[in-house]
A and B are shown apart, each in its own frame.
Chain A
Amino acid sequence: MGIPVFQVDVIIPTQTRYLSLIGHIGERIANELDTYAGDKVQLAYDLNLVLTEATANAIKHAKTNSLKETVRILIQIEENELIIKVFDHGQGFDLKNIEPLDFANPQETGMGLFFIKTYMDSVSYTITPDVNILAISKKLS
Chain B
Amino acid sequence: MKLRYETKQEYEIVIIDEERIDAHNSGDLKEALLHKIEQGNTHLIVQLAQVRFIDSSGLGALLAAYKKINAGHGRLMLVHVQAQVLAMFELTRLTQVFDIYAELDDILAHHQ
Q: Count of chain B residues with Cβ under 8 Å from any Cβ of A?
A: 22
For B55, B88, B91, the residue with the greatest tally of chain A CB atoms inside 10 Å of its CB is B55
Interface segment among B2-10, B18-26, B35-43, B73-81: the answer is B18-26
User: Does A93 have its Cβ within 8 Å of any Cβ on chain B?
Assistant: no
Contact among A53, A59, A106 for B93, CB-based, below 8 A = A106
Q: Could you say which residues of chain B place their CB within 8 Å of the CB of A110?
A: 56
Docked-complex contact B59 and A45, CB < 8 angstroms: no
* Interface membership of A17, Cβ < 8 A: yes
- Give the nearest-CB partner of A45 in chain B: B84
- Interface-side segment among A67-75, A79-87, A111-119, A122-130: A111-119
Give bound CA distance, A118 to B92, whole Å.
11
Given contacts A106-B97, A111-B56, A112-B55, contact A19 B92 (CB under 8 A): no
Main SS at interface, chain A: helix
State whether A115 touches B56 (Cβ < 8 A): yes
Residue of B nearest to A113 (CB): B56
Q: Smallest distance from the beta carbon of A91 to chain B beta carbons, Å?
A: 18
A31 in contact (CB, < 8 A): no
Let me know if A48 and B53 touch, CB within 8 A: yes
Q: Which residues of A contact B (CB under 8 A)?
A: 16-17, 19-20, 23, 42, 45, 48-49, 52-53, 56, 59-60, 101, 103, 106-112, 114-115, 118
- Please give 7 more A-B residue pairs, beta carbons under 8 A apart, in addition to A16-B22, A49-B55: A17-B24, A19-B22, A53-B55, A56-B57, A108-B63, A108-B67, A118-B91
